[in-house]
Amino acid sequence: MKVLIIGSGGHARVTADILLTMKGVEPLGFISRADASKSDGPQGLPILGDDDLVDTIEHDRVIVAIGENSLRKQVFDRLVAAGEKPVSAIHPTAIIASDVIVGAGCVICAGAIVNTGSRIGDNVILNTGCTVDHDCIIGNHAHIAPGVNLAGNVLVGEGVFVGIGSSVVQGIALGKWATVGAGAAVVSDVAANIVAVGVPARAVIKDNDVV
């Protein structure tokens, strides 16, 4: 299976490294508008040009390897609308229960653990060493950063970013496009589009407005 990697930054390098460990998968190189003028990319793979050239390159699948959630969603949706088929990259050291449902175009990094009953949406990043306990639901385009611990029955809405080393106790809901800061301890629900930081996590307030 020949795969185009969309992006060429740090997360794209991680994604390429995962794809290189997967049997039957051949990463062809990086598609990157920012680095389109270059020819040599990470991991010995070429930079093939910008995303206008995707249709001209023979391939079977694509994977959007962009860390920032809103941009990753934008690119993912555009490619799917154009008929592209996203593939998921799953590191061989990740532990995923047999009944877990993993959506299209996900990146599940080294040491990640996903326990029974959980559902992972499309275009999700489960980063290095994060844990997702039983019966969690992770919405499309979310990013669970390295070292995050989600307890059981956590609901993570679409586009949520959960920062490095943070923890979320059982039964919590994180609203769509919310952000949880690094090292936070989330013990109550976080509303949509809210930034929550600290121990315990609280909404960031600036000039009497929640930001």
Confidence band of 33 (pLDDT split at 50, 70, 90): confident
Mean pLDDT calculated for residue range 71-75? 97
- Rounded CA gap, 104 and 3, in Å? 14
The pLDDT value given to residue 181: 97
Confidence band of 39 (pLDDT split at 50, 70, 90): low
- Rounded CA gap, 30 and 153, in Å? 36
- Rounded CA gap, 77 and 94, in Å? 26
Yes or no: say if 155 and 173 are a contact pair by the CB < 8 Å rule.
Answer: yes
Nearest residue to 61 via CA among 22, 98, 91: 22
Yes or no: say if 7 and 13 are a contact pair by the CB < 8 Å rule.
Answer: no
In terms of pLDDT, which residue wins out, 41 or 37? Answer: 41
Looking at the predicted structure, is the pLDDT value of residue 115 above 60? yes
Task: Using alpha carbons, list the distances in angstroms from residue 157 to 20, 35, 120.
Answer: 30, 32, 11
Domain 2-87 coded CATH 3.40.50.20: yes
Backbone φ and ψ for 91, nearest 5 degrees, come out as -65, 140
Mean pLDDT calculated for residue range 25-52? 77
Domain boundaries, the chain: 2-87, 89-206
Confidence band of 49 (pLDDT split at 50, 70, 90): confident
User: Is the Cα dihedral 47, 143, 115, 130 positive or negative?
Assistant: positive
Mean pLDDT calculated for residue range 61-68? 97
**Terminal-residue alpha carbon distance, the chain:** 43
Yes or no: say if 108 and 177 are a contact pair by the CB < 8 Å rule.
Answer: no
Task: Using alpha carbons, list the distances in angstroms from residue 181 to 14, 72, 87, 203.
Answer: 22, 20, 29, 10
Looking at the predicted structure, is the pLDDT value of residue 15 above 90? yes
The pLDDT value given to residue 55: 86
Looking at the predicted structure, is the pLDDT value of residue 110 above 50? yes
Amino acid of residue 3 = V
Q: What is the pLDDT of residues 124-153, one digit of tens each?
A: 999 999 999 999 999 999 999 999 999 999
- Of 2.160.10.10, 3.50.50.60, 3.40.50.2300, 3.30.70.580, the CATH number of 89-206 is 2.160.10.10
Query: Is the fold of 2-87 the same as that of 89-206?
Result: no
Confidence band of 206 (pLDDT split at 50, 70, 90): very low
The pLDDT value given to residue 137: 98
Under DSSP, the state recorded for 45 is: P
Q: Enter the tokens of residue 162.
A: 């959960």
Confidence band of 51 (pLDDT split at 50, 70, 90): confident
